[in-house]
Amino acid sequence: MISASLTDKSPAQESSTVITPITTSFEHQDDEVTYDNSDLCPDLVLLIDDDPDVLLALRKELRKQNLTVLTTLDAREGVSLAKRHKPGVVICDFKMPELSGIEVCEAIHQVTPDTSKVMLTGFSDVDSVVASINRGHVTRFLCKPLDPEILQLTIAELVGISRVKLERVKTARELNNRASELELLNNSLEHCISERIREYEQARLFLDLSRRERKAQYFSAIKVFSGLTELRSPQLGAHSKRVAELARLIAIELECDSNQVNEIYIAGLLHDVGKIGLSDETLFASASSLSKERRIELMSHSQHGQNLFLGLPDMDSIATMIRHHHERFDGDGYPDGILNNVIPIGSRVLAVAEDFDELQQGWLAAKKLTEEEALSFIFKSSETRYDPHVLAALQPAIEKLRAAPRLEERLLSGTDLLVGQTLSRDFIGPDGYLWLSKEKLVSKHFIEQIREYEGLTGKPQKIYIYRLKRSGRPTAR
């Protein structure tokens, strides 16, 4: 046990780390000092006790842990020291002459809320404990006489917590800075679009800026280019989303790994981005009705789409899928005329998914086909236009698409999330990484991550979840 016996030296004589300010009132001093949680000093421990022997004994033990120790016999001095130095941990005696330990901890919490508070007491009762926690925000209680091992373990734990808090603050600031950069970038792109700057110039500008934050910008690129397609034509944007979803289901049926499924889905969203500069007549007329010049112009869109992503390493495989999604299995496709398994699997999947949708839109054939007619057309072209292995997965994928319940999206923040809800979109975290993918259930851990970040930054996150539409009787007309 730690004894409180006196030695031949007082605490002030033994260590230069003891600070004894002249002022004894904390209400009006240091008004110019404002709280900044990045000023927290995790390895600094403040001891407040009116018994100098206790201070001496405590300080001796804590200095074994290579900690900086401040001591004071006066409660008001203790609050002033806490305000000025932002210690990681404060140890305060429960009974003090002018202020109670609870009042001291309450005052310290007002000036440095991230400091861990420890109450030192020779007795305890329920009311005192409750008041200490509720008013003083006390996190630990130590009873006299103290066990040195318990003291050292407790302080080591709280110092570690303070270090984590400080690291979180720094990380949050870095994330805020990155978020600000991304916001500026998005505003720049929106301004370019509103001013009708040429689409390729917008893409080049984006790619140049994206190299600064490659991983984070990767996901922004997907959103922006998908948005460009939709801005060019809502009809074309809706087509890209349908193709992406069907291609994703086909890839799952083919037992592609999750990363490949994700890339195929993204390639589906962006496969027609090279069309944004084409005229409506070229975009939406059937291929057979186009003139030779417009057909050549249309056939170049897959190369243009690939070129938009050059210089972005994370997009290499997706850009390659986009380039080759009009290749044919027999080698008569474009732009390179490659055949069979030389064509990337993602491109073979996109070829089937896109033609299935375009046949129903009337963009590929002379007239719009029904779903059954489109299926019949595609299956008749097995081993010529399409990979038979991919076609085998088309029917099960369509059945899953048909069987999917009708869902609508809700936009929520972390405070509204509930365990068990289902994401309708991939959630990209503030660090640029995928925190939870589409169709995954919201977990308690995910909610805690979101709320923790929102608490640090004060900014709500945008999480899209599915909500089943309520069934009911048809509305009378």
pLDDT surpasses 50 at 15: no
Q: Which of 79-88, 122-131, 205-214, 463-472 has the lowest mean pLDDT?
A: 205-214
Distance CA 173, CA 167 (A): 10
Q: Name every residue whose Cβ is closer than 8 Å to that of residue 61 and which is 6 or more positions away in sequence.
A: 2, 146, 148, 151, 152
Q: Single out the residue of 208, 192, 210, 225 nearest to residue 319, CA to CA.
A: 225
Report the pLDDT value the prediction gives residue 183, as an integer from 0 to 100. Answer: 81
The DSSP output letter for 12 is: H
Report the pLDDT value the prediction gives residue 289, as an integer from 0 to 100. Answer: 79
Interval 143-192: pLDDT, tens: 888 888 888 888 888 988 888 888 888 888 888 888 888 888 777 767 76
Report the pLDDT value the prediction gives residue 180, as an integer from 0 to 100. Answer: 83
Q: Single out the residue of 111, 53, 109, 110 nearest to residue 119, CA to CA.
A: 109
Distance CA 135, CA 138 (A): 8
CATH 2.40.420.20 holds for 230-404: no
Does pTM surpass 0.85?
no
pLDDT surpasses 60 at 364: yes
How does residue 47 score in pLDDT terms, banded at 50, 70 and 90?
Answer: very high
Report the pLDDT value the prediction gives residue 96, as an integer from 0 to 100. Answer: 84
Report the pLDDT value the prediction gives residue 324, as an integer from 0 to 100. Answer: 94
Report the pLDDT value the prediction gives residue 320, as an integer from 0 to 100. Answer: 93
CATH topology of domain 408-468: Molybdopterin biosynthesis moea protein, domain 2 (3.90.105)
Domain segments of the chain as ranges = 11-168, 230-404, 408-468
Report the pLDDT value the prediction gives residue 31, as an integer from 0 to 100. Answer: 43
pLDDT surpasses 70 at 209: no
Provide mean pLDDT across the span 367-395.
Answer: 92
CATH topology of domain 11-168: Rossmann fold (3.40.50)
Q: Which of 19-28, 222-231, 429-438 has the lowest mean pLDDT?
A: 19-28
Q: Which of 264-273, 296-305, 398-407 has the lowest mean pLDDT?
A: 398-407
Report the pLDDT value the prediction gives residue 385, as an integer from 0 to 100. Answer: 93
**What is the overall mean pLDDT for the chain?**
80
How does residue 18 score in pLDDT terms, banded at 50, 70 and 90?
Answer: very low
pLDDT surpasses 60 at 211: no
Report the pLDDT value the prediction gives residue 25, as an integer from 0 to 100. Answer: 36
Strand partners, 468: 407
Looking at 346-416, which runs of residues are DSSP E strands? 407-412
Provide mean pLDDT across the span 368-394.
Answer: 92
CA dihedral 354, 359, 360, 362 (to 10 degrees): 120
The distance of Cα 362 from the centroid of its chain, to the nearest Å, equals 40
Local structure of 252: helix, strand or coil: helix
8 A C-beta contact, residue 134 and residue 109 = no
201 vs 190, more confident: 190
Burial call 194-226: b when 16+ CB within 10 Å, e when fewer: eeeeebeebbeebbebbeeeeebbbbbbbebbb
Report the pLDDT value the prediction gives residue 248, as an integer from 0 to 100. Answer: 94
Distance CA 292, CA 287 (A): 10
8 A C-beta contact, residue 461 and residue 453 = yes
Provide mean pLDDT across the span 246-264.
Answer: 93
Interval 219-231: pLDDT, tens: 666 777 777 777 7
